[in-house]
Amino acid sequence: MTDSPRKRHWLRNVLIALGAVALLIAIPVGVYAFSLSRTFDSKKETIEDVFPDETSRPTVPQGEAGKAENILLLGSDTRGELGDDLDDIRGQRSDTMMVAHIPADHKHVYIMSIMRDSWVDIPGHGQAKVNAALSYGGIPLVVQTVEGLISARIDHVAIVDFSGFEGVTNALGGVEVNNDIGFNSSHLKGHYFPQGVQTMNGTEALAFVRERYAFADGDFQRARNQQAYLKAVIDKVLSAGTLLDPVKTNNLVSAIAPYLKVDKGFDSAYVASLILKMSSVRSGDITFFTAPTAGTGTSDGGQSIVNLDAEKMKLLQEAFRTDRLDTYQPELQTMQ
């Protein structure tokens, strides 16, 4: 038995109508996605020369471990003095240094802070504070130094000006940060940050991540505060209220892109691909920790330095090499 002409005509009309509805939905979504990509690619800056000579770099692991990614995140508090060109950052020192490790299965993220006064081997310059690498040889030397530190390759690099934290926070409508220690801000005169969860605006967030003078634990507590702030931002970004709101998402991209400088491969296509692969990741799947230290000390030249824990660093290096940071047990790092 065949369908009647009237029934076939009805079915065809329904399919045409559904197709039209799908098209009406797809067009604005596509235009919006294109707009976001154009905003990101046009407003962020690109670092032309990022990686050191290939012969000096760790080899790519075989198998699944070779699919893991490491992203070097550098925080600079100098852009206001240097002007619009972040290439001038060479000759300066990075205020914040983190490595984000994304496992091959894309089900977790590990973000490790490296204390800026960590005493390490800088290729061609001997022992020095890790943040001196930027001054000695720009981004390529920073990458080479960090690759030697973690015994694994850096795949991408992003430099974020601290001023961008203010714009991001405001674009999100404020963020809720869990503050470990109450303190009087030295950057925001007259402001006290109480212990516990509090909502911060952009100005407060910027003062919060910059602070170190108010703490007996100095840079160690500052690193923890920066981690707490990033967790708060990630929580807010991953919430449905942000991801499903085109205006908030566009404002967020517009706020951070001008304060971001990345390698050539770190474009909107890469970011979109990464987001797709990590669609199941939530804030609880992100682990923050600090590279293992053995307290503070003084160099032969009289500099105040942070000593790394050599034995624990070997375990950490193996975890990076084999994509098994899930087996590494981080501990609270302090000046002692």
Question: Could you report the per-residue pLDDT of 173-208, keeping only the tens digit for each?
Answer: 999 999 999 999 999 999 999 999 999 999 999 999
Q: Under a CB-based contact definition with an 8 Å cutoff, are residues 134 and 92 in contact?
A: yes
Dist CA 277 CA 25 (whole Å)? 23
The two structure tokens encoding residue 271: 């970011």
- Contacts within 8 Å (CB) and 24+ apart, 143-149: 143/50, 143/51, 143/52, 143/72, 144/52, 144/56, 144/57, 145/120, 145/121, 146/72, 146/97, 146/99, 146/114, 147/52, 147/57, 147/58, 148/120, 148/121, 148/123, 149/114, 149/118, 149/120, 149/291, 149/313
Mean pLDDT (whole number) for 289-303: 95
Question: Under the phi-then-psi rule, with left for phi > 0, alpha for psi from -120 to 50, and beta for the rest, what region is 91?
Answer: left
Q: Which of 1-5, 138-142, 255-259, 300-304 has the lowest mean pLDDT?
A: 1-5
Q: What are phi and psi of 315, to 5 degrees?
A: -65, -40
Q: Which of 5-9, 131-135, 218-222 has the lowest mean pLDDT?
A: 5-9
The two structure tokens encoding residue 259: 């304060």
Q: What is the pLDDT of residues 225-236, one digit of tens each?
A: 999 999 999 998
Angle at 48 between CA 139 and CA 124, to 5 degrees: 30
CA torsion angle 115 118 121 127 (round to 10): 150
| Strand, helix or coil for residue 104 | coil
CATH topology of domain 164-238: Aminopeptidase (3.40.630)
Q: Sort strands 260-263 and 45-47 into parallel, antiparallel or unpaired.
A: parallel
CATH number of 46-161+262-336: 3.30.420.590
Return the higher-pLDDT residue of 92 and 162.
Answer: 162
Give exposure, 220-256, as e/b (b: 16+ Cβ within 10 Å). Answer: bbbbbbbbbbbbbbbbbbeeeebeeeeebbebbbebb
For CA atoms 160, 162, 163, 165, the dihedral sign is: positive
Q: What is the pLDDT of residues 10-60, one digit of tens each?
A: 555 555 444 544 433 343 444 345 556 878 888 888 988 899 999 999 999
Residues 6+ away with beta carbon under 8 Å from 89: 76, 78, 79, 82, 134, 138, 159
